[in-house]
Chain A
């Protein structure tokens, strides 16, 4: 830090509020020095493996080849995994947002014990998808807790929820486990967003006789938009990376894309096909991020005064 001799006495006050921070060109060297290590580090850990990965995917022992890509595309598991991943995201995310919004609005009513509730609802934040898979395995296993409850109630003696020929219940188990694990992230983002919304608007609307639903639809949700957008981008891209939940619950019976990179790398010991699948996931995430940013940027720009 000896390279940062000059203080910032002339720097106008950087007020804590966002609108106060305007682009000012001062002290390029200090700031650049502070930022540079993180840029270099991230660039190295992204660009280098991307270059290497492309090399792995399209070259063989004798020059460039498309064999690995073809092998990936010829593998039925690949298509099944693509379909499952897409299905999981499409079904999970709307459910998750509805659930998280409900939870956040419940907390906003400040019921008694609300801090206890918030704690319990946030616990899955720190739980990995592998752990979540194992937690729900104890419920959905053939001799697990769900079948035990059913048996106690005298409702049959066990259904194979996770068997490979019960596609629907397998999907349901993975869906529930993901809903349980990953909704907390949306919840925290939404709760943080709600805190930034002044209650006055809401109260004013109430004074003028707006019903709860009208206030939710016309006052709260529009102001929550930026938070919801961020949560949407993050959750979609994290959703693309789901795999250990399914691995723990079903093995390879419910393949997901990232699970396939793992299978090809660890079990089938083919790093080239594995790298090819990794690049597919990378491209899909990049595409999602770009599309979301494009689609969501406009309204965000008009609402940037928040």
Chain B
């Protein structure tokens, strides 16, 4: 009897704890949404209302109409897509090699990946800016995309190799027994099975790129990505603008995570093996 009661109490406690953590994680998102969707006038009132009594798109509209914001959106998407393409082009073959071949230097290579993942490449944007100035890449979306590719590439290799390990080698061998060449067997047999995971790696790259601020701010002047644009105008913009900017940066995150729920553990949970 008392054991049953203890078990019940335990369940209730777990629920209470879960709800508390959820409130801590969720409430700030609710508040930034509330702030961004209030009119400027109601943001000037004090105390602020905690319920959506005065929903208005005014704050967001003003933000979107400000100089550089729409362009920033476009640049962000462009940089994200270039980084994604580059890091898949470089990372998928490497991930495949790590998964399938035992080659000399495989261990050092993995250590090298860990090291590059661990080093703060973004702080190297300052000398990189000098390099890009010399090569004519400065202030282009390509410059930022190169940096973001370097940032996401180690993880792309790790994720994709984890995925290729999970695709049975027998399928590939069977295809080749039936006369397919290695690239063909890869394209026809391995790739379809690995596709969801590769998509996860791609989205990881895009999110990394979408979120990166420092490098994007240092490497560009006019072709700023959205976060870089928000950062550079931070000091002299009204609170309403900053809230709207925060909300604009948060919304894609909600969507990414919703789409990628199944792959979260693969994307961020993959560790050194």
Q: Please give the residue numbers on chain A whose beta carbons come within 8 Å of chain B beta carbons, in ascending order.
A: 1-2, 4-9, 11, 13-14, 16, 18, 21-28, 30-32, 34-35, 37-39, 41-42, 45-46, 48-50, 52-53, 55-56, 102-103, 106, 109, 111-115, 117-131, 133-139, 141, 143-145, 147-149, 151-152, 158, 180, 184-185, 188-189, 191-193, 195, 226-227, 230-231, 233-234, 237, 240-241, 243-244, 247-248, 251, 258, 261-262, 265-266, 271, 274-275, 277-278, 281-282, 285-286, 289
Contacts and interface: CB of A to CB of B under 8 A. Distances in A.
Contact of B269 (A18, A120, A149, A188): A188
Contacts of A26: 101-103
B271 A230 contact: yes
A139 B102 contact: no
B19 to A, nearest CB: 9
A22 B107 CA distance: 11
Nearest to B245: A134
B81 interface: no
B126 A129 contact: no
A134 B264 contact: no
Given A28-B103, A56-B127, A127 B250 contact: yes
B70 interface: no
A109 to B, nearest CB: 5
B120 A282 contact: yes
Contacts of A230: 271-272
A184 B223 CA distance: 31
- Counting contact residues on chain B (CB < 8 A from A), the size range is 35 or more
A7 B184 CA distance: 10
B136 interface: no
A35 B109 contact: yes
A105 B260 CA distance: 22
B222 interface: no
A53 B249 contact: no
A195 B169 CA distance: 24
